[in-house]
Chains A and B, each alone.
Chain A
Amino acid sequence: MAATPIASPIAVAMYPTLSGITLAIGLIVTAFFFIYEATSSRKNRSLGMELSTAAAASLFLGFGSLFLLLASGVYV
């Protein structure tokens, strides 16, 4: 029976790069979200726009923080 070695789904050497990129994108989208919150008036706010920006920001921030944890040696 052949035993094939199992490796991580993403190359371990990529973790720092990936964490930097995803965190940067996540923070930019967070910035968009908060700018929208600050500049729109009560009447003009659209819930769909808010929720979609929040979803995109949390997706990138979530993955970014996961890769950050992995890159710093906390193998969760």
Chain B
Amino acid sequence: MMKQASVVDLFLLLLAIPLLATPAFSDLVLSKVERRIDVTSQIARVTKTLKVVNSGSESVSEFTLTFPKFLGNNLAYLSVSHSEGKGKSKRSLATLSVEEAHPKGMPDSVSFYSVSLPKPLNKGDALTLEVVAAFTNVLQPFPEKISQRDIHLVMLQESAQYLSPYVVESQSLSIKLPNARIESYTKLENTKLQGSEIKYGPYKNLAQYSYAPIVVHFESKAAFAVAEKLVREIEVSHWGNVQVTEHYNLVHRGAQLKGEFSRLEYQDRPNPQGVSAFRHLLARLPPRAHSIYYRDDIGNISTSQMQSDSKKTELLIEPRFPLFGGWKTFFTIGYGLPLSDFLFASEGKRFLDISFGSPMIDLVTEKLIVQVVLPEGSKDISVTTPFAVKQSHEIKYSHLDIAGRPVVVLEKNNVVPDHNQNIQVYYKFSNINLLSEPLMLITGFFVLFITCIVYTRADFSISKSSAAYLAKLQWDEVLATLQEVQNIIHKCLAAHDKLETSLRDLSRTGDIQTCKAARKSTDGLLKDLSKELRPLLASLQSFPSASHISPKVEELVAKEKELQEKLMAKHTTVVEGYEKKSSGRDIENRIASQQQKIIALRQEVEDLLEFIDEI
């Protein structure tokens, strides 16, 4: 079908040329044209070196490139640059801007591209242009349906003579074929086959629009892997990660498989049948890619290998089955990249510098959708791309989002690996917006705690006069009183400790006055505390539910009082002893019995306190 259309096109073209009025193109002359076509992969790459000489009288600032329409429709990538020097000193200067042009009165079977020259070419000047063009779908499988055993033969149609609106003085064409069988090729004059390269030319002094169709039929061992649709999601998180997720819908666009697939023949050694299929796909990811996963709707696909070094990370994946012509598969690849490799700040704005196309080598993408998800709070978003893309905006709701994250969606059709250049996405973001995420979490936890507080404080009882409710209220009060009693007893014990320390100080320093002063202050403190205790004890006695506790509490208070008195007595004895300057041993003997009682009482007090604690 494709073949018939192109033949008709050629015929029309050959007819149209004599009918053309000489177009009003400038008088540029191409003094030397060298064309190299590389068809070792599924993409036909044409590299042309054109030496342009201005033989007219006016200076020219535009150059027109032409392709036959059946090639022009499949043009995926075109780049023109001008270079200087010859051989080793050749350097490539700036890439020039190319636009599709539709000059009036031109036949429909030719596509025109207009290149703006860097500076106008004056009379007699020469300029060297380098053109790189990549075409998809021009290697037509022929035969179109093959069985599992057949080899994959494809056909290329081109022109041995360079189709151009200018006069060409000398030109040559060389076609580089893969290192495999060459079925047939058109033999014109000056045709040579050297190894796996066919050379046509050099042809001299050709008129404008000269065209000599050639057909090359050869075996291709390249994998005709085409992604019908590739959705590439790039999510930027300022916490340190760029997450790339790629969803592939892959199809084998070579000759279709007819008949059945025999696994036995496919795995037969030494003669496996199934050369037209491909099993592996190689992806070149940026260095320091981490957390790489390869899965599809069924689950994880384990047939993959990864090799990383400081310049790149290579991922070799094998789909669940080999792909023959017409077969499809789908899978997802995801990986994370460190943020500082891709996000930069310049002039108050931040920009993300990341590659546009698929990281797989030699993959043609029919429809590529790149979604760049920027963090919440990004403003003034703009995108810079080295080639034309279709842009749109969306919102995505993800983790801890309030208003959603802005998404820039870039779409492009017919993407080849030559398009895998970097694009820049500019936006404004201040680091304060990063805080909104922990704040949300903190607020969540705080609400939980507030609920707890409200619950313990609120009164959820249904009946406010039932016996159980009243009993509970009373018990709460009993507990409160007990706690206060406990606090006071603790304070008393602290006062006792202070007395003991003063005694120890006395034995160390012999300062009687400070000791007496300490005793006086402690005495006063203890009197105050016992005063506070009395109303509490009274209220405790008034509660019927505390009837089993109040005797214990009274016991505690009584014991504590005893302890108090004994301590005071001991203190007085020791001080008197110091005043009389009697020896240490005397004092010890006098207070020995008292000391024992004190220790016993103290123990009982603490036991009672523990008991109250456990209520």
Which residues of A pack against B, CB within 8 Å?
Answer: 1-9, 12, 33-34, 37, 41-45, 47, 50-51, 54-55, 57-59, 61-63, 65-66, 69-70, 73-76
Contacts and interface: CB of A to CB of B under 8 A. Distances in A.
Interface of B: 235, 237-241, 243, 291, 336, 338-341, 343-347, 350-351, 353, 398-400, 431, 434, 437-439, 441-446, 448-450, 452-453, 456-457, 476-477, 479-480, 483
Given A44-B483, A55-B446, A62 B240 contact: no
Given A55-B446, A57-B445, A37 B452 contact: yes
Nearest to B238: A8
A9, A51, A58, A69 — which one has the most chain B CB atoms within 10 A of its CB? Answer: A58
B240 A7 contact: yes
Given A57-B445, A58-B442, A42 B480 contact: yes
B449 A4 contact: no
A3, A9, A44 — which one has the most chain B CB atoms within 10 A of its CB? Answer: A3
Contacts of A59: 442
Given A8-B238, A8-B240, A37-B452, A3 B480 contact: no
A50 to B, nearest CB: 5
Contact of A2 (B336, B346, B457): B346
A75 B437 CA distance: 11
Nearest to B352: A6
B450 A54 contact: yes
Given A33-B452, A58-B442, A62-B443, 12 more contacts: A4-B346, A5-B345, A7-B339, A37-B452, A47-B453, A58-B443, A62-B441, A65-B445, A66-B441, A70-B240, A75-B241, A76-B237
B480 A44 contact: yes
A62 to B, nearest CB: 3
Main secondary structure of the interface of B (DSSP, over half): helix
Nearest to A38: B456
Contact of B344 (A4, A37, A65, A73): A4
A41 B437 contact: no
B547 to A, nearest CB: 19
Contacts of A2: 346
A6 B439 contact: no
Contact of A58 (B240, B346, B445, B477): B445
Contacts of B291: 73
A53 to B, nearest CB: 8
B378 to A, nearest CB: 13
Given A6-B339, A63-B438, A74-B399, A1 B449 contact: no
Contacts of A6: 238, 339-340, 343-345, 350
26 contacts: A3-B353, A5-B340, A5-B341, A6-B344, A6-B350, A7-B240, A7-B339, A9-B434, A12-B338, A33-B449, A37-B452, A41-B479, A42-B476, A42-B480, A43-B477, A44-B483, A50-B453, A54-B446, A58-B444, A61-B442, A62-B443, A63-B438, A70-B240, A76-B237, A76-B398, A76-B399
